[in-house]
């Protein structure tokens, strides 16, 4: 895999190769994912006060618009290395968008199972345009994932959900980037939690950097689930999860233990935020920070706002909030949230009067 002249970023596999299970024979399938910005959260920092330094890890700027690309570059490269000619996943949308893009580049067939009516329009459009075979299952994400497990146990088709260990290996590179950018570890790491792969992956990444002596401490992991889809908070699966944050509408997370381990070992927490709190954070991010995310991504910010109100954070500490997916993924949510444009006559006077000039 060659990089473009003048573009020094080689994608997460080449950048973090010593930390990843790849060899010289592994074909690298990459869209040059990763290297996403760590943006100072000025408005949120002001709102929280107490000298807190807050940053957003804006994962919506990955090639397919979500953090999934970090895991998918590795999962699809390994699938190709193993000689697979097809990949399959269940998805609330972003995994399917990412899988279909990487499969397209690798020349692999891609099948995705989505919960019918449960994924945002942009994600569906992505999977379709990349040429995946998309099946809308009239059930939940959890049911679709169970079917995918059964299929991949019996047939030669590579599973690229986060129960594929290569996915989490790729995703842990986001923790490396956070530390590389800060020159240290954050004190707190806030993240939305659905199937719980990403919180597991970040915790692994931080621990590996710690073990290598690259950082001298570890963040407390703060996971946030939507209140209507909060099995890890309740301590039991939720049969019919409900939330406007469709990406994290999951009732029985595959990486349940990984999330609990990250919480316990880091002295962190996993809490629920309501759809109302998620939408307030979603609008705050777009309106005050200039960052457009999909609703699930706003869960981390909603959680930090909530904890901030109860004085949870130690003065002067460093907080990183992961913004997992781009706002353009879910245009319907914008339309349901904001006031739509007013129609005006093509007359100067009409427009001047509307804009108050």
Which residue is it, tokens 């919480």?
A: 263
The yes or no reply on residue 247 touching ligand F0G (CB under 6 A) is: yes
* Interface residue with ligand F0G, options 244, 296, 301, 320 (CB under 6 A): 296
| C-alpha to C-alpha distance for 324 and 318, rounded to whole angstroms | 19
Query: Please, which residue, 81 or 208, has the CB nearer to ligand F0G?
Result: 208
Query: Checking phi first, is residue 108 left (phi over 0); if not, alpha (psi -120 to 50) or beta?
Result: beta
Sheet of 158-159, strands arranged across: 133-137, 109-115, 86-90, 158-159
Q: Are 240 and 295 in contact (CB under 8 A)?
A: no
300 near ligand F0G, judged by CB under 6 A: no
Given the complex with ligand F0G, which of 30 and 198 has the nearer CB atom?
A: 198
- Token output for 252: 């029985």
Closer of 66 and 140 to ligand F0G (Cβ): 66
Please provide residue 247's backbone torsions phi and psi, each rounded to the nearest 5 degrees.
-60, -30
Separation between Cα atoms, residue 93 and residue 118, nearest integer Å: 8
The one among 10, 11, 194, 303 contacting ligand F0G by CB under 6 A: 194
Q: Which member of 10, 115, 186, 197 binds ligand F0G (CB under 6 A)?
A: 197
Name the one range near ligand F0G by CB under 6 A: 10-18, 150-158, 188-196, 270-278: 188-196
- Which of 168/305 has CB closer to ligand F0G? 168
> Interaction with ligand F0G in 155-174: which residues (CB under 6 A)?
162
Strand locations in the chain (E): 38-40, 53-58, 86-90, 109-115, 133-137, 158-159, 188-192, 220-226, 269-273, 318-323
**Dihedral class, residue 242 (left if φ above 0, else alpha if ψ from -120 to 50, else beta):** beta
- Give the nearer residue to ligand F0G in terms of CB position, either 193 or 278: 193
SS3 of 273, please?
strand
Q: Give how many residues touch ligand F0G by CB under 6 A.
A: 22
d(CA 322, CA 59): 7
Look at the chain and count its residues: 357
The answer to whether 246 contacts ligand F0G (rule: CB under 6 A) is no
Q: Does 62 bind ligand F0G (CB under 6 A)?
A: no
Q: Which two tokens stand for residue 47?
A: 């709102």
Among 91, 100, 173, 252, binds ligand F0G (CB under 6 A): 91
Nearer to ligand F0G, 41 or 90 (CB): 90
Closest approach, Cβ 303 to ligand F0G, in A, equals 12
Q: Does 232 bind ligand F0G (CB under 6 A)?
A: no
Q: How far apart are CA 237 and CA 2, in angstroms?
A: 45
Q: How far apart are CA 215 and CA 211, in angstroms?
A: 8
Nearer to ligand F0G, 122 or 186 (CB): 122
Which one of the spans 8-16, 23-31, 282-290, 294-302 is the region binding ligand F0G (CB under 6 A)? Answer: 294-302
192 in contact with ligand F0G (CB under 6 A): yes
Question: Is residue 294 involved in binding ligand F0G (CB under 6 A)?
Answer: yes
- Residue 141 DSSP SS3: helix
For residues 225 and 80, what is the distance between their CA atoms, to the nearest angstrom?
A: 34
Alpha-carbon distances of 150 from 146, 153, 238, rounded to whole Å = 6, 5, 21
Which span sits near ligand F0G by CB under 6 A: 34-42, 101-109, 124-132, 191-199? 191-199
196 binds ligand F0G (CB under 6 A): yes
Closest approach of ligand F0G to the CB of residue 77, in Å: 19
Closer by beta carbon to ligand F0G, 92 or else 266 = 92
Residues 310-349 that bind ligand F0G (CB under 6 A): 324-325
In whole angstroms, give the CA distance from residue 355 to residue 294: 29
Is 195 a binding residue for ligand F0G by CB under 6 A? The answer is yes
Q: Does 140 bind ligand F0G (CB under 6 A)?
A: no
The residues of the shown chain that bind ligand F0G, judged by CB under 6 A, are 66, 68, 91-95, 162, 192-198, 247-248, 294, 296-297, 324-325
């Amino acid at each position: 895999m060659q990089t473009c002249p003048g573009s020094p970023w080689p994608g997460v596999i080449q950048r973090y190769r010593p930390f990843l299970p790849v060899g010289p024979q592994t074909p690298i399938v990459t869209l040059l994912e990763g290297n996403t910005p760590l943006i100072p959260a000025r408005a949120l920092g002001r709102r929280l006060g107490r000298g807190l330094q807050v940053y957003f890890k804006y994962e919506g700027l990955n090639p397919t618009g979500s953090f999934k690309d970090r895991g998918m570059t590795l999962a699809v490269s390994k699938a190709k290395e193993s000689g697979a000619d097809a990949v399959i996943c269940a998805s609330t949308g972003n995994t399917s968008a990412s899988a279909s893009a990487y499969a397209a580049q690798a020349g692999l067939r891609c099948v995705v199972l989505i919960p019918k009516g449960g994924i945002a329009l942009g994600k569906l459009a992505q999977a379709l345009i990349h040429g995946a075979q998309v099946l809308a299952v009239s059930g939940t994400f959890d049911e679709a994932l169970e079917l995918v497990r059964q299929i991949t146990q019996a047939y030669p088709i590579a599973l690229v959900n986060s129960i594929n260990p290569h996915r989490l290996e790729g995703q842990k590179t986001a923790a490396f980037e956070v530390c590389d950018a800060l020159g240290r570890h954050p004190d707190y790491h806030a993240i939305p939690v659905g199937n719980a792969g990403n919180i597991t992956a970040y915790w692994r990444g931080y621990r590996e950097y710690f073990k290598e002596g690259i950082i001298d401490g570890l963040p407390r992991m703060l996971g946030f689930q939507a209140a209507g889809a909060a099995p890890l908070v309740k301590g039991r699966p939720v049969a019919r999860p409900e939330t406007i944050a469709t990406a994290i509408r999951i009732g029985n997370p595959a990486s349940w233990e990984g999330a609990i381990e990250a919480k316990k070992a880091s002295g962190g927490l996993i809490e629920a935020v309501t759809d109302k709190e998620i939408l307030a954070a979603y609008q705050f991010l777009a309106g005050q920070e200039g960052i457009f995310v999909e609703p699930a991504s706003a869960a981390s910010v909603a959680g930090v706002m909530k904890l901030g109100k109860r004085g949870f954070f130690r003065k002067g500490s460093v907080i990183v909030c992961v913004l997992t997916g781009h706002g353009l993924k879910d245009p319907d949510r914008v339309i349901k949230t904001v006031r739509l444009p007013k129609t005006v006559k093509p007359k100067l006077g009409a427009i001047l009067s509307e804009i108050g000039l």
